């Protein structure tokens, strides 16, 4: 992908049903279909598919199916990180996950940001903002991380929380919207 990928990475507005993007989405869908269809246990086969799908992947990464994403190549995940069942990573902007991260079941990392103007939204305009998850973060089950959010290292986000703004390192955050309730040792 040329110009479309550059626009996406720059955080510029783009048309979501662009044919160039459609090709990348189809490639991703085929890899995900193979990944999600493999019978357990088959870690070597799954890892090989993730190696083709993700832009970067550290050693010891485990992703449990079912897993969904948009294009895959915008996802970087650090060593020894774990993604539980039902992960949805909408990666039309980079999603960077540090090392030793624990991601609970049904977590959603949502980089797309849709146009608020009704006519532009109807025409299919969107942009995406990067998501960054620091090392040793734990995202509880059902957490939703919104576009443009950075979560600092060693932070824990409680189950069901919706993270709409950056969270600092070393805190416990919960709620909708997620708010810091205390620092962690």
Residues with catalytic roles: 114
Which of 116, 115, 118, 112 is closest to 131 using CA atoms? 112
The residue among 53, 40, 161 whose CA lies nearest residue 107 is 161
β-strand pairing of 171-174 with 179-183 = antiparallel
Q: How many CB atoms lie within 10 A of CB 68?
A: 16
Q: Could you tell me if 150 and 132 are in contact, meaning their C-beta atoms sit under 8 angstroms apart? A: yes
Whether cis (ω within 30° of 0) applies to the bond prior to 41 is yes
d(CA 69, CA 133): 16
Closest-CA residue to 64 (of 82, 79, 52) = 82
Q: How far apart are CA 58 and CA 81, in angstroms?
A: 8
Compute the CA torsion angle 138, 139, 140, 142 (nearest 10 deg). Answer: -170
């Amino acid at each position: 992908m040329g110009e479309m990928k550059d626009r996406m990475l720059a955080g510029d507005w783009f048309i979501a049903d662009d044919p160039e993007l459609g090709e990348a989405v189809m490639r991703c869908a085929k890899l995900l279909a193979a990944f999600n269809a493999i019978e357990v246990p088959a870690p070597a086969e799954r890892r090989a598919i993730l190696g083709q799908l993700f832009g970067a992947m550290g050693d010891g990464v485990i992703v449990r199916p079912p897993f969904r994403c948009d294009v895959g190549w915008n996802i970087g995940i650090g060593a020894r990180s774990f993604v539980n069942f039902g992960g949805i990573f909408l990666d039309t902007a980079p999603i960077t996950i540090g090392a030793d991260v624990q991601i609970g079941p049904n977590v959603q990392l949502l980089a797309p940001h849709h146009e608020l103007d009704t006519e532009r939204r109807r025409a299919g305009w969107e942009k995406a903002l990067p998501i960054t998850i620091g090392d040793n973060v734990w995202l509880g089950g059902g957490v939703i991380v919104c576009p443009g959010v950075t979560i600092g290292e060693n932070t824990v986000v409680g189950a069901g929380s919706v993270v709409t703004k950056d969270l600092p390192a070393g805190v416990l955050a919960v709620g909708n919207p997620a708010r810091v309730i205390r620092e962690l040792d």
